Structure 1
Amino acid sequence: MPTLRETILTALYARLSALPSTALRGDVLPERVPAEGLLILRDGEPGEPEVTLSPLRYHYQHHVEIEAVVQGTARDEAFDTLTASIGAAIAADRTLGGLCDWVEAEAPRSVDLPVEGAASLKAAMIPVVLHYVLADPLR
């Protein structure tokens, strides 16, 4: 039985997989970027929780990252469309079906990456904070 943390990450990955771009989880950047763009979910770190007593609860602000990559001549427009679709997917259900207290994306930090013999890549890491509560940090 998966932990709540893994269930939350799986639910976020499912949201990303429903977008027109290709979505991966924890993979390396492939040699070719699909025309519709590429998203890679990085599991990140749950960090140190705030702890409340009676009942004992661990309140996490788990920082994950979504690596968004596009390639081609119209990469600025494609990148904007891709990041907007991520925002819309998160805003559609900020609790991931009740698994989280809140899911919040931050602004992308984009870079242009030249590729020898091919069109440049436009990529960004999009920080996402998952707010959730566990009764046990290992479950």
Structure 2
Amino acid sequence: MPTYRETILAALHARLLALPAAALRGDVLPERVPAEGLLILRDGEPGEPEVTLSPLAYHYQHRAEIEAVVQGSDRDAAFDTLTASVGSALATDRTLGGLCDWIEAEAPRTVDLPVEGAASLKAAVIPVVLHYSTADPLG
């Protein structure tokens, strides 16, 4: 049985799979970027929880990351479309079906990456903060 943290990350990945871009989880950047773009979900860090004692609960602000990558001649427009679609997907249900108290993305940190013999990549890391509580930090 998966942990609560894994259930939340799997739900976030499922939300990304519904987008037109390819969505991977924890994979390396492939040699080819699909025309629609590529998203790679990184599990990130749950951080130090706040703890309440009665009842015992661990309250996390887990920072996952989504790497967004596009390639091609119209990279700026494709990148804008891709990041906007991620924002819309997260905004449709900010609780991931009741798994989280709240989920929100932060502004993307963009970078242009040259590729020898091909069109350069435009990429960004989009931090996503998942607010949730659990009774067991390992469960």
Q: TM-score range by the shorter chain?
A: over 0.9
Counterpart AA for 2:22:
T
Cα shift at 1:129? 0.3
Give the CA deviation at 1:119: 0.4
TM-score normalised according to structure 1 size = 0.99
Q: Which runs of 5+ in 1 are unaligned?
A: none
Q: Which runs of 5+ in 2 are unaligned?
A: none
Q: Secondary structure at the match of 1:132?
A: strand
* CA deviation profile, 1:25-71 (whole Å, cap 9, x unmatched): 00000000000000000000101100011101000000000000000
RMSD over aligned CA atoms reads: 0.4
Tell me which stretches of 4 or more aligned residues in structure 1 moved more than 2 Å.
none
| 1:98-138 residue CA offsets vs partner (Å, 9 max, x unmatched) | 00000010000001111111001000000000000000111
Q: Which residue of 1 aligns with 2:81?
A: 81
What SS does the aligned partner of 1:32 have?
Answer: coil
2:72 is the counterpart of 1:72: yes
- Name the SS of the counterpart of 1:86 in structure 2: helix
**Count of residues in Structure 1 that have an aligned counterpart in Structure 2:** 139
AA aligned to 1:103 is I
Partner of 1:114: 114
Percent same amino acid among aligned pairs? 84
Matches within 5 A, 1:11-50: 11-50=11-50
Distance 2:66 2:54 in 1: 35
Which residue in the other structure is 2:57 paired with? 57
1:98 alignment partner, SS class: coil
Q: Which residue of 2 aligns with 1:8?
A: 8
SS of the residue corresponding to residue 64 of structure 2 reads strand
